[in-house]
């Protein structure tokens, strides 16, 4: 019998389970006991607890919203600055011209 002709049985593995949903993960976090090893490890490493309070979430949401608004304002200002620069340069030229004219009239 030829070794190459031997057929090996293929092991059929069960299909992978679906990953948990966000709601399932949050439920797991909120129902975990305070003595859960994950929380004690986080305390030992000095990391924040994965259980943010509602006020923490609200504060972070408001900060994100504020930063997004600031970013929009900065982008708008960035678009206006070249036009305003040109206007200032033109006003400076008119001012120099007017000053030269006044100096010419007083001589």
- The b-or-e profile of 13-43 (16+ CB within 10 A means b, else e) is eeeeeeeeeeeeeeeeeeeeeeeeeebeeee
Averaged pLDDT for residues 72-92: 94
Domain boundaries, the chain: 21-51, 52-107
**Helix H segments across 10-53?**
22-31, 37-45
For residue 39, what are the contacts with CB-CB under 8 A and spacing of at least 6? Answer: 32, 49, 50
Report d(CA 50, CA 34) in Å as an integer.
Answer: 11
pLDDT in tens, 20-75: 999 998 888 888 887 777 767 666 665 555 556 677 788 888 889 999 999 999 99
């Amino acid at each position: 019998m030829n070794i190459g002709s031997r057929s090996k049985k293929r092991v059929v593995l069960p299909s992978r389970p679906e990953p948990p949903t966000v709601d399932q993960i949050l439920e797991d976090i909120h129902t975990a006991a305070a003595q859960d090893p994950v929380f004690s490890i986080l305390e030992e490493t000095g990391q924040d607890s994965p259980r943010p309070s509602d006020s923490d979430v609200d504060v972070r949401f408001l900060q994100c919203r504020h930063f997004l608004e600031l970013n929009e304002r900065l982008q708008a200002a960035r678009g206006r600055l070249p036009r305003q620069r040109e206007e200032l340069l033109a006003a400076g030229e008119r001012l120099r011209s007017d000053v030269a004219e006044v100096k010419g009239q007083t001589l």
